[in-house]
Structures are given as C-alpha cells and as structure tokens.
Amino acid sequence: MELLDRVSAKLNERFPGEIESAALLYDYPVFTVNKDSIHDVLKFLKEDEELNFHFLTTLCGVQTADEKQLGVVYHLHNMPKNYRIRLKTFFDINKPEIPTVTDLYPTANWMERETYDFFGVRFKGHPNLKRILNVDEMDIFPMRKEYPLEDQTRTDKKDDMFGR
C-alpha cells in the first residue's frame, strides 16, 4: 500500500491527468496509464532515482471483455529494493499502435514481437517487428477473442449444458 501511494504521488505530480487509475490488486500496485504517455511514464519510472524500475519482468497483451480494446501489461521490478508494480495501457482494437519500449528495456524486443504475433499490437519504433512463434504466412492474430479455440460450426458436440 505504501509503495502504491508513493508511486502514484510521483506519477500524478509528473504526469497530471495521465494516470487513469491506481489500485492494489492482491500484492501488486497496478496503474492504468494513458497510451500516449506510456513510454514517458516507463522512462520516468526507470530513470527516477528512488523508484528505479530497471527490470522489465514481463510484457504481454490482453483484450478487454467488450472486445473493443486491446491492452498491453508491463510488470516492472526494482531488484535491490524489491519493488514490483504493474502498468497497463489500453487502446482501440482498430488502431492498435503504441510506442515501443525496446530503447528502455532491450528484453522487450521479443516480448513485443510475441504481443504483435498474438494480438496484432503494432509497436512503433520496434527494430524488427515480425511474427516470432507463429508462421509468417498467418494472417490473423490468434489470441484475440474473436478467434475461438474450437470450430464454432461443429454440430457433433453439445456444450450447452456446462456453459462452454
């Protein structure tokens, strides 16, 4: 809780109005940031002397339940002080463009490629944004909810009973 207050105070002071929400979810302080300032916020968090989130634990894509927005989730870590926070940013699914963070964290390279591969998020400024796990010829972004895992036209399976 203390970390949440400190980080949100710093962010609100530096980026007024850009932090859409701040909450403690289980053991993680979680911040939702406007997509236009996500790169600046990450840069600030990395370069701030006290917070110094120097380690990008993981980066992944999500889709909101209404299927209209995509999001990118960053998990940041300050190892010496053991601070961990989560940052989220959401944007329109028809215009999935956000700036890359490969200039701040080299490890974001493949993570962003994976996010592009599965969700179709275009990271502006990424040095080599192409598919990584799927075949290059694939023309869909398979982790989006519009592509269900099983063929929906199948008639040999009745799943009404158990809400699948």
Partner 1 sequence: MKMSKKETVYSVNQEVIEEKEYSTLNLGPTHPATHGIFQNVLKMDGEIIHEATPTIGYIHRAFEKLAERRPYAQITPITDRMNYCSSPINNMGWYMTVEKLIGAEIPKRAQYHRVIIMELARIADHIICNSVIGVDTGAMTGFLYIFQWREKIYEIFEEICGARLTTNIGRIGGFDKEWNKKTWDLIDAFLKGFPAGLKEFSNLLERNKIFMDRTVNCGPITAEKALGYGFTGPNLRAAGIDYDVRVMNPYSSYEDFTFTIPVGTQGDTYDRFMVRQHEMWQSLSIIEQAIKKMPEGPMHANLPDFYLPPKEEVYNNMEALIYHFKIVMGETDVPVGEVYHCVEGGNGELGFYLISDGGRTPYRLHFRRPCFIYYQAYSEMVKGIMLSDAILTMSSMNVIAGELDS
Give the footprint of partner 1 on this chain (CB under 8 A).
Answer: 25-26, 28, 30, 54-58, 60, 62-63, 65, 73, 75, 79, 82, 84, 86, 105-107, 109-111, 114, 118, 132-135, 142-143, 149-150, 162-164
DSSP string, 116-136: HHHH--EEET-TT---SSS-T
Is the sign of the CA dihedral 108, 114, 119, 125 positive or negative?
Answer: positive
* Least CB distance to partner 1 at residue 148 (A): 8
Give dist(CA 65, CA 90) in Å, integer. 12
In 10 A of CB 149, how many CB atoms? 6
Shortest distance in whole angstroms from residue 14 CB to partner 1 = 24
Cβ proximity to partner 1: between 12 and 128 the closer is: 128
Least separation in angstroms between residue 6's CB and partner 1 is 19
- The H or E element that residue 16 is part of is none
Is 88 or 122 the residue whose CB approaches partner 1 more closely? 88
The whole-angstrom separation of Cα 13 and Cα 108 is: 27
Give 14 or 107: the residue with its C-beta nearer to partner 1.
107
Distances from the Cα of 95 to the Cαs of 3, 92, 112, 117, in angstroms?
33, 5, 16, 16
Rounded least distance, CB 70 to partner 1, Å: 12
Rounded to the nearest whole angstrom, what is the least distance from the CB of residue 106 to partner 1 in the complex? 5
- For residue 119, give both structure tokens: 């969700």
Which residue, 60 or 99, is less far from partner 1 as judged by CB?
60
Residue nearer to partner 1 on the CB measure, 14 or 75 = 75
Q: Where are the beta strands (DSSP E) in 51-121?
A: 55-63, 69-78, 83-92, 97-99
